[in-house]
């Protein structure tokens, strides 16, 4: 082998103070994201068409709304990816404070749906602030772990780092414990990666578990969810779980065919939202379910690659935070659908119906793409 062939040169990326000018761009992440979003729109149409018609709307009603929000989210994602990621470092504190404030405002002027107050009405769009707390926590915890790494070794100093996001998590937990768990998981995973001594983190983790148990005991319906998880056949709250299992079991290896789900026709609640994975299993079978999971695994592996090749620790921690959020939501959603975990309201990223969810997740993908643009790949 010649020395010329053996020698690799790096292609330097260029970045202005605010915007990326040229350099590496991770098209694999972009492609997987587009595929997941398009697949989600297709499955939302399939899962929601019956419900939309029964409500007096077009069968495309929910799918069209999701498609419009997804297109707007894609534009925002590309805008976020074009900004030099170092700028997010400077705005980490304002972003987390604004996000926590919005979560607090929900309790005052929020609108209720399905018995929970989680949204702020903007007329044309119902905003769910708890979804935007996730990317705010990702940026904030990445910054503080980068600048105050020695604080991670002390219980009290760790509390100083976690105090602001914990306020938002506690506010969210009062109405939406499942989203609060996802937000807390982001904190824990990034701190776990950054800290040399994880004992202070373990102490806070134990306190969080105790707090979660107390919240479950305080609200009767949460205890009912535990009962539905353990005994779905006999529990009065186990209807949704049983319908989900019927859908998964009837799908077989290759499914009934796209659009041929029976459970979505009024039997399975939230078939286009939290429980959409069960419709995927029923219509596309085990093969389709594994294909979806494979796409997520490929996406997470790309995150891992970028995190290992980041130009600094702030960028690496930010990618780890996004990776943690998507992985935790994926595990919880599939766990709930298959009755491996107690019922919660966690959506399946990119695929479940919900404007705030897809927008917040696309913003996070934009953050990862912004970081990837300053990786120096071999030519």
In a domain, 4, yes or no: no
What is the mean pLDDT for each group of 10 consecutive residues in the chain (379 residues)? 43 50 77 96 93 89 94 94 88 92 84 70 79 94 88 82 90 85 92 85 81 67 71 80 89 88 86 90 94 96 91 91 95 92 87 91 94 69
In a domain, 299, yes or no: yes
Any idea how long the chain is? 379
| Distance from C-alpha of 32 to C-alpha of 27, rounded to nearest angstrom | 8
Give the per-residue pLDDT at 79.
93
In a domain, 7, yes or no: no
Q: What residues have CB less than 8 Å from 307, skipping those under 6 apart?
A: 316, 319, 320, 323
Q: Taking Cα atoms as reference points, which of 165, 215, 156 lies closest to residue 190?
A: 165
Q: What residues have CB less than 8 Å from 137, skipping those under 6 apart?
A: 96, 99, 165, 168, 183, 186, 187, 321
Q: Which neighbouring-strand residues pair with 19?
A: 83
Check: CB of residue 153 under 8 Å from CB of residue 333.
no
In a domain, 10, yes or no: no
Check: CB of residue 364 under 8 Å from CB of residue 325.
yes
Give the per-residue pLDDT at 14.
52
Give the per-residue pLDDT at 8.
44
In a domain, 214, yes or no: yes
Query: Structural domain of residue 264, as residue ranges?
Result: 24-372
Give the per-residue pLDDT at 109.
77
DSSP state of 11: -
Give the per-residue pLDDT at 113.
65
In a domain, 258, yes or no: yes
Q: Which neighbouring-strand residues pair with 10?
A: 378
| Number of compact structural domains in the chain | 1
Q: What residues have CB less than 8 Å from 117, skipping those under 6 apart?
A: 106, 107, 110, 111, 175
pTM: 0.89
Give the per-residue pLDDT at 3.
42
Between helix 313-337 and helix 129-147 the angle, nearest 10°, is: 140
In a domain, 377, yes or no: no
Give the per-residue pLDDT at 4.
45
In a domain, 6, yes or no: no
């Amino acid at each position: 082998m010649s020395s010329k062939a053996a020698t690799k040169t790096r292609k330097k990326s260029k970045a202005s103070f605010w915007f990326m000018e040229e350099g590496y761009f991770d098209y694999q992440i972009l492609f997987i994201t587009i595929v997941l979003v398009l697949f989600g729109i297709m499955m939302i149409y399939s899962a929601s068409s019956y419900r939309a018609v029964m409500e007096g709307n077009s069968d495309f009603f929910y799918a069209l709304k999701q498609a419009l929000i997804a297109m707007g989210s894609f534009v925002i994602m590309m805008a976020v990816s074009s900004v030099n990621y170092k700028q997010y470092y400077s705005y980490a504190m304002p972003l987390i404070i604004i996000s926590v404030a919005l979560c607090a405002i929900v309790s005052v002027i929020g609108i209720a749906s399905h018995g929970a107050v989680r949204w702020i009405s903007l007329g044309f769009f119902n905003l769910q602030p708890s979804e935007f707390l996730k990317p705010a926590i990702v940026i904030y915890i990445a910054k503080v772990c980068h600048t105050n790494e020695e604080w991670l070794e002390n219980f009290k100093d760790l509390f100083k780092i976690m105090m602001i996001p914990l306020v938002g998590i506690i506010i969210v937990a009062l109405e939406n414990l499942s989203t609060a768990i996802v937000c807390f998981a982001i904190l824990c995973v990034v701190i776990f990666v950054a800290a040399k001594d994880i004992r202070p983190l373990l102490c806070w983790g134990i306190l969080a578990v105790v707090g979660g148990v107390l919240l479950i005991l305080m609200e009767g319906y949460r205890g009912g969810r535990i009962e539905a998880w353990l005994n779905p056949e006999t529990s009065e709250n186990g209807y949704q779980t049983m319908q989900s299992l019927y859908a998964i079991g009837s799908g077989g290896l290759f499914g009934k065919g796209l659009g041929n789900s029976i459970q979505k026709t009024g039997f399975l609640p939230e078939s286009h939202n939290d429980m959409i994975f069960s419709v995927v299993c029923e219509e596309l079978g085990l093969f389709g379910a594994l294909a979806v999971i494979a796409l997520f695994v490929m996406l997470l592996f790309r995150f891992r690659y970028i995190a290992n090749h980041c130009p600094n620790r702030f960028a690496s921690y930010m990618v780890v935070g996004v990776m943690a959020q998507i992985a935790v939501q994926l595990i919880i959603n599939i766990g709930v659908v298959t009755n491996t975990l107690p019922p919660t309201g966690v959506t399946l990223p990119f695929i479940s119906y919900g404007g705030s969810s897809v927008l917040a997740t696309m913003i996070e993908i934009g953050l990862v793409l912004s970081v990837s643009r300053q990786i120096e790949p071999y030519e």
